[in-house]
Amino acid sequence: MMTFHREGRSIMLGSFGLFLGLSALNYYLLFEALFGLFVFLELGFVVLLYLVVQFFRIPSRTCTGGALDIICPADGKVVVIEEVEETEYFKDKRLQVSIFMSPLNVHANYYPISGEVTYTKYHPGLFLVAWHPKSSTDNERSTCVVKNANGQEILFRQIAGALARRICYYAQEGDKAQQGAEFGFIKFGSRVDLFLPLGTKIDVQLNQKVKAKLTKLGSLN
């Protein structure tokens, strides 16, 4: 069963109203005078409306990850797997896994593990393209850390991109995070970074396409 995200209600309604207005104007000006151009433009309007509506789709999925499994928090493609220095919260070396979301992906974001939310912070910033090396530190972003029952913490970060102009995040410190439950949404493209303990077993590869709530990124020790 397919549903649509609440963050898209006003945008979808506005897009539908714009579609009706443009279609009416197109019919009035071109239907009889230039029928071929009328059909071409009308098809373009339909495609644009479809792209907006499908962006906010939420497919029905069941998360079946185990207690130590790290489940993919977003649809997209794995673009980074490397050891880095995480400077905001851990301030030490971590294993970074990054998922790039195109405008055609589902854009709801989900908790990769269960536990307690121990840290959240929103950072205003720039809107560099999501694959830019500095987008992780310079772009608009939100950071969330969850500690599991064994005391292990992972950090995940929503990052806005050149098209994404609004990050929506719902996690608050002290919340109980449930693996596979929604913690946020990014409008119109971007990426999610995860920072994992060194030694974490990784089950995905670079350029692999992944699905939120379904793909297992790796396992904590």
Burial group, residue 152, by CB count within 10 angstroms (0-12, 13-18, 19+) = middle
Distance (Å, rounded) from C-alpha 43 to C-alpha 12? 18
Q: What's the residue count for the chain? A: 221
Distance (Å, rounded) from C-alpha 67 to C-alpha 159? 26
What does the angle CA 176 – CA 181 – CA 185 come to, to the nearest 5 degrees?
Answer: 110
The type of residue at 84 is V
Catalytic residue selected from 23, 98, 190, 219? 190
Strand 216-219 to 2-4 pairing: unpaired
Q: Is 60 a catalytic residue?
A: no
The residues carrying an active-site annotation are 190
